[in-house]
Each structure stands twice: as C-alpha cells, then as structure tokens.
C-alpha cells in the first residue's frame, strides 16, 4: 500500500469481511455521531448501539438513516438480546431488529446464566433471517476468570457451527473482563489456544476499547485483525495503528509483510 510515497501495510477496502472496525455508540450526541461517521466513514464498518442504549435513544432512527447514507452497517448490543430473553420476549426482540431494518444481530450470554448450547440454538434460529455475531465471554470478571482456554475454544466452535458469521470475544468497554483480566491485561493463553485449535482469526472479532489492547491485537494478528468496542474518539487513531503510523506499531510491519 503506497500513500504519499510511504510503503504501508495493505488494508482491505470496504466492503470487507476482515480488517473490520466496530465502533460502540454508548449514547453519543447526534452531532458527534454524524461528524464521526462523516469524517471517518471509510474506516468504520459497523456501529454497535451498546447494551440497551437503543431503547432510550431519542434519535435512533436518525442515526440509522445517517449510517445508511454513509455505507456503515449497525447492530444492537447483545445485552439487549439478553434483556428480552430474560423476560421471555425473544419474539419481541426479533421484531425490534426487523422494525429498524437491522441485517445483523448479536447473540450473547455474557450477563444471564444460560449454557452456551442454549445460546447456540438462538444463533441457529436467528441466522435464518439475520447475519449473526455471537459473543463469548462473561462480563463479570470473577466468573470470566473461571473459564479456561478450552472452554473458550469449545464455545467459539459451537457458535460458528450454529451459524454465527463471526464470534466476538468479550472485553467490555472497560477492557477488564472476558479476554482480559480485571487489571486489563490480555489473556494470551486463550488467544494462543484459539489459534492452536485451527480457528481462523478472520472469524474472530476482538473487543479492544483502548490503545493498549488495539496495539496488542494488531501486533498479534496484523493490520487486518477484526476489532470491536472502539470508542467514537478512536477510528482515525486506530487506523494509524493498523498502518504503522503511530509509535506503538511503528516498527511492527516490514516491507512486503501482511500484503
């Protein structure tokens, strides 16, 4: 990739199936939302309306309309699915997603206590009408730490076999649970076991809400790693990390590598 005479890692252009960047909307004001999408749209693949924010966002329809105009997809956070499920209202969640024209859904069990096999059945059902992102990992760091790397591999494989398009690994917007410990340190043993199991990282989306995690995943898997839970402040700075234009990844890529 040649920009201004610089040799940079090759980035896949939109629409792309990997190298995906997913921003999380935690209820940002509409003008900030529009400015971010307008200025950084080529680097943004999805907006996730975090947890249940879509229920009380007064300008949700306007935001979705603006995303359509700028070729950015969206979906609702998995916690919202879990809230509907906890009240035995999965059909209402299905209708909610259809009402807003969402082609994608996220199915998770990071808050409620249901077996992964039960979650996989919902993935299979929803994948008949939606493209499904599943999520593996628990939002409670204490519970999450009890999951061994073999559990992660099993759950990821179950979700993919059930029809998940890609599997998101939990880290929360704080980066202190799921694939991270409570101190924010990444659990490399889990990532290593995922790779040893032969699961393609193209099928995995890593939540990376801060620069430390973004840098770690880029160094681990290259510039076209899939990343989620990216703050609205970060799409441009993340792209510079992907391209080796920031000190943190300055020496990560070499000529001809990752092309």
Angle between helices 235-242 and 211-221 (to 10 degrees): 30
The predicted pLDDT at position 257 comes to 53
Q: Give me the pLDDT at residue 175, please.
A: 63
Name the percent of the chain lying above pLDDT 70. Answer: 96
Q: How confident is the model at residue 160 (pLDDT cuts 50, 70, 90)?
A: very high
- 259 pLDDT more than 50: no
pLDDT at 1 over 60: yes
pTM of the model: 0.93
| Residues 204 and 228: beta-carbon distance below 8 Å | no
CA 147 to chain centre: 20
Mean pLDDT calculated for residue range 114-136 = 97
Per residue in 161-183, pLDDT tens? 999 999 999 887 666 677 887 78
CA distance 124 to 111: 20
- CATH of 2-249, picked from 3.20.20.70, 3.40.190.10, 3.40.50.300, 1.10.240.10, is 3.20.20.70
- The answer to whether residues 62 and 37 touch, using CB atoms and an 8 Å cutoff, is no
Alpha carbons within 13 A on the beta-carbon side of 192? 5
Q: How far apart are the first and last CA of the chain?
A: 8
Residue ranges per domain, the chain? 2-249
Q: What is the pLDDT of residues 132-158, one digit of tens each?
A: 999 998 877 777 778 889 999 999 999
Q: So what's the pLDDT on residue 111?
A: 93
pLDDT in tens, 221-251: 999 999 999 999 999 999 999 999 999 999 9
Q: Which helix (H) or strand (E) holds 49?
A: strand 46-49
- Give per-residue pLDDT as tens, 45-86: 999 999 999 999 999 999 999 999 999 999 999 999 999 999
pLDDT at 177: 72
pLDDT at position 166 is: 98
């Amino acid at each position: 990739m040649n920009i201004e005479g610089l040799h940079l890692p090759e980035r896949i252009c939109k629409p792309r199936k990997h190298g995906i960047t997913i921003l999380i909307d935690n209820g940002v004001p509409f003008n900030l939302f529009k400015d971010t999408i307008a200025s950084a749209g080529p680097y943004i693949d999805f907006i996730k309306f975090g947890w249940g924010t879509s229920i009380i966002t007064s300008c949700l329809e306007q935001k979705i309309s603006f995303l359509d105009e700028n070729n950015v997809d969206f979906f609702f956070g998995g916690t919202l699915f879990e809230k509907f499920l906890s009240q035995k209202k999965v059909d209402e969640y299905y209708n909610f997603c259809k009402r807003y024209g969402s082609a994608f859904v996220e199915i998770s069990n990071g808050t409620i206590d249901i077996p992964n096999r039960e979650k996989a059945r919902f993935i299979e059902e929803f994948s008949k009408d939606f493209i499904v992102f599943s999520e593996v990992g628990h939002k409670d760091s204490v519970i999450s730490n009890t999951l061994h790397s073999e559990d992660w591999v099993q759950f990821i494989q179950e979700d993919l076999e059930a029809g998940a398009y890609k599997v998101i690994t939990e880290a929360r917007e704080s980066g202190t649970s799921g694939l991270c410990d409570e101190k924010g340190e990444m659990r490399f043993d889990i990532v290593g076991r995922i790779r040893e199991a032969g699961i393609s990282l193209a099928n995995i989306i890593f939540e990376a809400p801060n620069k430390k995690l973004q840098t770690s995943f880029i160094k681990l898997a290259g510039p076209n790693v899939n990343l989620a839970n990216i703050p609205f402040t970060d799409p441009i700075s993340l792209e510079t990390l992907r391209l080796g234009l920031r000190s943190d990844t300055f020496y990560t890529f070499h000529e001809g590598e990752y092309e």
